[in-house]
Chains A and B, each alone.
Chain A
Amino acid sequence: EIVLTQSPGTLSLSPGDRATLSCRASQTITNNYLAWYQQKPGQSPRLLIYAASSRATGIPDRFSGTGSGTDFTLTISRLEPEDFAVFYCQQYGTTPWTFGQGTKVEIK
């Protein structure tokens, strides 16, 4: 199965900062079928990005996804207070679909 490794584990930033999250795959992700999710405590994951770079419906344009092959990045251009959460990448190009272990973006 494809192993996804996210870095860093924790990102301590202030509102207004730029956040850059990385997701590296153990093998090429088919069709760049890589998604990014945001999860807050007690809530289900919320889809932000699919197919590496397409924003899901209703997602603000401060969220952007880039990358291809095995290296992917989620960028939040200016952090808003509601953005602080755990972020997961998921590949759905090859079964079994797999997730990274998550990056926590916390308030500095």
Chain B
Amino acid sequence: QVQLQESGPGLVKPSETLSLTCTVSGVSITISHWSWYRQTPGKGLEWIGYVLYSEGTNYNPSYMSRVTISLDTSKNQFSLNLNSVTAADSAVYYCEGYGGVWGPGTLVTVSS
């Protein structure tokens, strides 16, 4: 059974970097796309980007200059870094992969 779990700080200061990790169990992250999404009441669900072991990354142009998604095959994890955050980056962040398996989500608030 494939499971995903997000982890990381729930509070990030403005202008700093939001860093989240998704731990994958039940399947190797060397197969499939692994994505990050976020959800806010105002903008709904948004795809941030994905990483694919054999091909690299693909990012939503809305985040292109600020985002990095990477794989750690030794830990079977993938990560999201979003820099220069503002209050508008406050959201529930989800990781997803293996054709539709989602983590439970983690709330990140950007505030001083």
Contact = CB atoms under 8 A, between A and B. Distances in A.
Interface in A8-57: 35, 43-47, 50, 56
A56 B100 contact: yes
A50 B99 CA distance: 9
Interface residues on A, range: 10 to 19
B26 interface: no
Per DSSP, chain A at the interface is loop
Contacts of B56: none
A66 interface: no
B58 A95 contact: yes
Interface residues of B, number: 17
Contact of B61 (A45, A56, A96, A101): A96
B94 A99 contact: no
A96 B62 contact: yes
A88 B99 contact: no
Contacts of A102: 44
Interface string B82-112: 0000000000001000011111110000000
B45 interface: yes
Contacts of B105: 44
A50 B101 CA distance: 12
